[in-house]
Structure 1
Amino acid sequence: MKFFSLENPVWKFIGNLADFFILSCLWYLCSLPVVTAGAAASAVYYVTLKMSRDQEGELVRSFFKSFRQNLKPGCLLGVGYLAATVVLGLDIVICLQQSSVLAGAMFFTSVVLLACAALFATMTFPLLARCDNTPGALFKMGVALTLRNLLPVLSALVVNVAFFAVGIFVFWPVLLVAPGLAAYCNAFIFNRIFDKYGLSL
């Protein structure tokens, strides 16, 4: 019967959900030390960039292959973005408690810089999954690619925020697949960007 065929869209969707659940669990697990969250994110993208083109191999093995290879640059970039987020977040909180013109200007500047950091991070970790380079070079490439592809990268950031927001505020089971499913949705965006610059798989 066609319903029980592995090519049936229903079973393919269920199979993909299982993959996204496994990827999400791996991301949560490997992000527990916090400093390794960047390497874990690049590993998720390493798998989903291939999945989006039907080139995936053994999921768990591919994830840990990328995680090990990108552990050092992923940690350095992740810690850098985390530090910037904490500093800018604290600055925003402090500015909100002030009423001067200077505080207002600093608040606006911090919000803009925080938004830029979020956009650059959104681009950097998929890029890390595709490129073998130093953290500094990857950061510069991430900034350049973001500025040249601002709307697609902004769309990817919105997808990430939307999945986690729905999971946190609306329906918590979404969090069980959010990292993997969001990365898979964004993989189509990033593959299109990478193709333009000769960074495709």
Structure 2
Amino acid sequence: MRGLFVIDGNIYNYMLKLYEVMVLNLLFIIASLPIITIGAALTALYDVTLKMQVGIEKEMTRSFVKSFRKNGMQATKIWFAFLSFIAIACLVISLVNGHPVVLFPLLCLTALLVGALPYTFSLVATFDNKTGIMMRNGLMLAMQHVPHTLIMLSVSGLLFLYLPIYQSWLLLPVIILAFSLTAVVQSHFISGILVKLVGEEEVTDR
């Protein structure tokens, strides 16, 4: 029984991982407070969680801040492009009074864009390329890996919609863990996809 709580024991390792996820969640929330920096914060978040998947993340806070600064401009452009589409979609829906002929395609396209965001910001965190190419590749990955995209969307829906609304007693744990935990789950799938595409060395070198 005593061996369970030693430094190399399973319980200690699980508690350490939980602590890291909580700290990472706090870093993301603080970095996102200006709202316009959410894209940069997401990129930094995926940078850290992708490295966690391959076991090379040792200095989480420093890595987060470094990625936030390095990729901030490009990630912010992508974030503004996404917000612009949402604003246009809302305007169109209001003009046509939510007509299903217009509403359904817009909802499908919005779901696709939301599903492409984790891929896109992960690409920004991992590779150097033009913004347009990053966005195109993120959309392509979302469409090419529909099962993974649907799972990632389901995880987001569970943590940010179902649990806070229907299990209100879980609201505090959701606030403490939701963002980073979602990124950890999504990075599990994205990391495998990127490794298959370009190899592990290319994913871990940056």
- TM-score, normalization: structure 2? 0.88
Q: Does the aligned pair in 2 maintain the 1:47–1:59 contact within 8 Å?
A: yes
Task: State how far apart, in whole Å, the 2-side matches of 1:94 and 1:13 are.
Answer: 51
Task: State how far apart, in whole Å, the 1-side matches of 2:104 and 2:15 are.
Answer: 44
From the two aligned structures, give the one with the greater helix fraction.
Answer: 2
State whether structure 2 residue 11 is matched by structure 1 residue 10. Answer: yes
Task: State how far apart, in whole Å, the 1-side matches of 2:104 and 2:5 are.
Answer: 56
Residues 121-136 of structure 1 mapped to structure 2, 5 A cutoff: 121-136=117-132
Letter in structure 2 aligned against 1:155: I
State whether structure 2 residue 24 is matched by structure 1 residue 23. Answer: yes
Letter in structure 2 aligned against 1:75: T
State whether structure 2 residue 144 is matched by structure 1 residue 179. Answer: no
Change (3 A) 1:13 1:92: farther
Change (3 A) 1:168 1:89: farther
Task: State how far apart, in whole Å, the 2-side matches of 1:135 and 1:45 are.
Answer: 17
State whether structure 2 residue 100 is matched by structure 1 residue 109. Answer: no
Q: Does the aligned pair in 1 maintain the 2:21–2:180 contact within 8 Å?
A: yes
Q: Does the aligned pair in 1 maintain the 2:148–2:189 contact within 8 Å?
A: yes
Q: Does the aligned pair in 2 maintain the 1:85–1:117 contact within 8 Å?
A: no
Residues 36-75 of structure 1 mapped to structure 2, 5 A cutoff: 36-75=37-76
Residue deviations 1:155-177 (CA, integer Å, cap 9, x gap): 11221222222453221122211
Q: Does the aligned pair in 2 maintain the 1:123–1:153 contact within 8 Å?
A: no
How much does 1:113 deviate? Answer: 1.6
Task: State how far apart, in whole Å, the 1-side matches of 2:87 and 2:163 are.
Answer: 23
Residues 83-122 of structure 1 mapped to structure 2, 5 A cutoff: 83-95=84-96, 97=97, 103-122=99-118
10-19 or 86-95, which deviates more: 86-95
Task: State how far apart, in whole Å, the 1-side matches of 2:22 and 2:176 are.
Answer: 6
Aligned Cα RMSD in Å? 1.7
Residue deviations 1:115-161 (CA, integer Å, cap 9, x gap): 12112213211121111112111011111222221211221122122
Residues 156-195 of structure 1 mapped to structure 2, 5 A cutoff: 156-169=152-165, 170=167, 171-173=170-172, 174-195=174-195
* Structure 2 counterpart of 1:139: 135
* Structure 1 counterpart of 2:35: 34
Task: State how far apart, in whole Å, the 2-side matches of 1:182 and 1:9 are.
Answer: 22
Task: State how far apart, in whole Å, the 2-side matches of 1:138 and 1:2 are.
Answer: 47
Q: Gapped runs of 5+ residues in structure 1?
A: none
Q: Does the aligned pair in 2 maintain the 1:92–1:111 contact within 8 Å?
A: no
Task: State how far apart, in whole Å, the 1-side matches of 2:15 and 2:159 are.
Answer: 18
How much does 1:29 deviate? Answer: 1.0
How much does 1:180 deviate? Answer: 0.9
How much does 1:195 deviate? Answer: 1.1
Specify the SS of the correspondent of 1:108: helix
Q: Gapped runs of 5+ residues in structure 2?
A: none
Which of 145, 151, 155 is the aligned partner of 1:149? Answer: 145
Specify the SS of the correspondent of 1:177: helix
Q: What count of residue pairs does the alignment treat as equivalent?
A: 196
Change (3 A) 1:89 1:68: same
Q: Does the aligned pair in 2 maintain the 1:92–1:107 contact within 8 Å?
A: yes
Q: Percent identity?
A: 27
